[in-house]
Amino acid sequence: MAHRQSEWLTPEEVAALLKITPKTVKDWLRAGKLPGRKMGKLWRVQAAEVDAFMEQLPREAPAAERLDATCPEVLLALVRAILPLGQGVHLRDKGVTELPLAELNAALAPLGFTVHAVKVGDPKRGVACTDTAGRVEHFGLFELRRLAQGEK
């Protein structure tokens, strides 16, 4: 890094270095994942701590992917808990009334999965799903599937 190791950085400066949002940095600070100090109402992080934090991360992925590397796997585990692989499920029966389906599938695709949704005749079983343009469509039956090779 081009700064002195004893320099104190703002969450915004740390975010810029790691190519993530300042909110994520503040969340990590509050959770103790990233060492920092509260000075009054403002967070500060020593540059040396940022360097040490980055050293603990896997080297092969870009910074933003490294820092949130476990998030996709956790998301997949949560999805699999309510949508067993290859089994159709009426999510409305599980209390789900809205689902950002396009965003969910975008997050699952790098892991090789997708949530397939089918419309059903009974409107009481419908879940309001948003697509990439923010349009809402109602689907009733959902299934977690593996993507075919090369599909992503």
List the chain pLDDT tens, one digit each, 152 residues. 455 667 999 999 998 888 888 888 998 999 888 999 999 999 999 999 888 888 776 554 454 444 455 577 788 888 999 999 999 999 999 899 999 999 999 989 999 999 999 998 888 889 999 888 889 999 999 999 999 875 55
Q: CA neighbours within 13 Å on the CB side: how many for 83?
A: 25
Structural domain boundaries, residue 104: 75-146
pLDDT recorded at residue 44 = 95
Overall pTM surpassing 0.85 (yes/no)? no
pLDDT recorded at residue 67 = 44
117 neighbors 141 (Cβ within 8 angstroms): yes
Q: How buried is residue 120: exposed, middle or buried, by Cβ count under 10 Å (0-12/13-18/19+)?
A: middle
Q: Report the 10 Å Cβ neighbour count for 42.
A: 10
Same domain, 58 and 20: yes
Q: How far apart are CA 95 and CA 117, in angstroms?
A: 16
98 neighbors 126 (Cβ within 8 angstroms): no
**What is the pLDDT of the chain when averaged over all its residues?**
84
pLDDT recorded at residue 8 = 93
Q: Tell me, yes or no, whether 110 lies in a domain.
A: yes
Q: Tell me, yes or no, whether 41 lies in a domain.
A: yes
Domain count for the chain: 2
pLDDT recorded at residue 5 = 63
Q: Tell me, yes or no, whether 1 lies in a domain.
A: no
pLDDT recorded at residue 139 = 96
